[in-house]
């Protein structure tokens, strides 16, 4: 079996596919070359020779048409202005009868525990910043709900839809959101006028207190779609 992982980021999922499918071949591509070095090193550390990483744009994949049995994209379409066009491009990479697998968020970020509105507000700011940058017609919160429709518009048939909840501990949430708002995301949110420096400092302080509470968690619904190239 041959598989392509589009928008693979640092390649952790790509490497997992390579382990599961060997001796089948796996190709991963992403627009940011800096991310791919992590995947290459991870594959080398695990002794995998059946996975390749390269730089590429999902709208114009750097790969030959009708070469893959499976195409996959995880948490990619919500960052795109034209997710239907992206899936059409991936469809061209598939052999007749090939399968597309896509996964994206599809609902409300939920946090439990004292002062849980702080992480919820930070996540809302993150979503608003992504949406303002991407121009996605569905928005990052609803992209997952619309995956089956987008797959149909891209020419796929027999869409199978499933959903899961991803549940994270408060320290994990603090690491992800706190890290995001200590770098480029913070600058982008401020430049876009979505928040102020004072509000962000207050929210991060409240979130650190939230993360210390035993049992505090956050949960996110995800949708998964499998569809076939007819």
Q: Which domains does the chain have, with CATH numbers?
A: 57-229 (3.40.50.150)
Short-list 73, 69, 58, 89, CA closest to 147:
73
| Tens-place pLDDT, residues 137-185 | 999 999 999 999 999 999 999 999 999 999 999 999 999 898 889 888 9
DSSP letter for 143, please. T
DSSP letter for 140, please. T
108 falls in which pLDDT band (50, 70, 90)? confident
DSSP string, the chain: -EEEEET-TT-HHHHHHHHHHTTSEEEEEES-HHHHHHHHHHHHHTT--SEEEEE-BTTB-SS-TT-EEEEEEES-GGG-S-HHHHHHHHHHHEEEEEEEEEEEE-S--EEESTTTHHHHHHHHHHHHHHHHHH--SS-TTTTGGGHHHHHHHTTEEEEEEEEEEEEEEHHHHHHHHHHHTTTHHHHHHHHTTS--HHHHHHHHHHHHHHHTSTT-EEEEEEEEEEEEE-
Cα separation, 32 vs 57, whole angstroms: 9
Q: What is the predicted pLDDT for the residue at 62?
A: 92
Q: How many Å is the Cα radius of gyration of the chain?
A: 19
Cα separation, 211 vs 7, whole angstroms: 31
Burial (CB count <10 Å: 0-12, 13-18, 19+), residue 157: exposed
Q: Determine what percent of the chain is predicted with pLDDT higher than 70.
A: 100
Q: What is the predicted pLDDT for the residue at 230?
A: 84
Query: CB neighbours of 149 closer than 8 A, spacing ≥ 6?
Result: none
Checking if the pLDDT of 132 tops 90, the result is: yes
Calculate the dihedral angle through the C-alpha atoms of 148, 151, 157, 163, rounding to the nearest 10 degrees.
-30
Token pair of 157, please?
């048939």
Q: What is the predicted pLDDT for the residue at 46?
A: 97
Cα separation, 51 vs 38, whole angstroms: 13
63 falls in which pLDDT band (50, 70, 90)? very high
Cα separation, 90 vs 54, whole angstroms: 16
Find tokens 């949110």 and name the residue: 189
Q: What is the predicted pLDDT for the residue at 10?
A: 95
């Amino acid at each position: 079996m041959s598989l392509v992982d589009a928008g693979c980021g640092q390649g952790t999922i790509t490497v997992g596919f390579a382990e599961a499918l060997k001796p089948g071949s796996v190709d991963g591509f992403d627009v940011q070359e800096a991310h791919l070095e992590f995947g290459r090193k991870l594959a080398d550390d695990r002794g995998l020779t059946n996975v390749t990483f390269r730089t590429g744009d999902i709208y114009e994949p750097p790969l030959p048409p009708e070469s893959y049995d499976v195409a996959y994209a995880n948490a990619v379409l919500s960052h795109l202005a034209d997710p239907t066009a992206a899936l059409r491009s991936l469809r061209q990479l598939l052999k007749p009868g090939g399968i597309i697998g896509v996964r994206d968020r599809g609902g409300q970020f939920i946090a439990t525990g004292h002062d849980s509105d702080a992480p919820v507000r930070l996540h809302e700011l993150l979503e608003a910043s992504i949406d303002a940058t991407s121009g996605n017609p569905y928005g990052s919160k609803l992209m997952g709900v619309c995956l089956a429709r987008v797959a149909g518009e891209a020419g796929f048939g027999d869409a199978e839809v499933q959903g899961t909840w991803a549940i994270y501990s408060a320290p994990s949430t603090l690491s992800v959101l706190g890290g995001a708002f200590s770098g480029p995301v913070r600058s982008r949110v401020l430049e876009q006028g979505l928040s102020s420096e004072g509000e962000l400092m207050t929210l991060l302080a409240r979130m650190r207190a939230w993360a210390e509470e035993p049992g505090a968690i956050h949960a996110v619904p995800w949708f998964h779609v499998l569809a076939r190239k007819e």
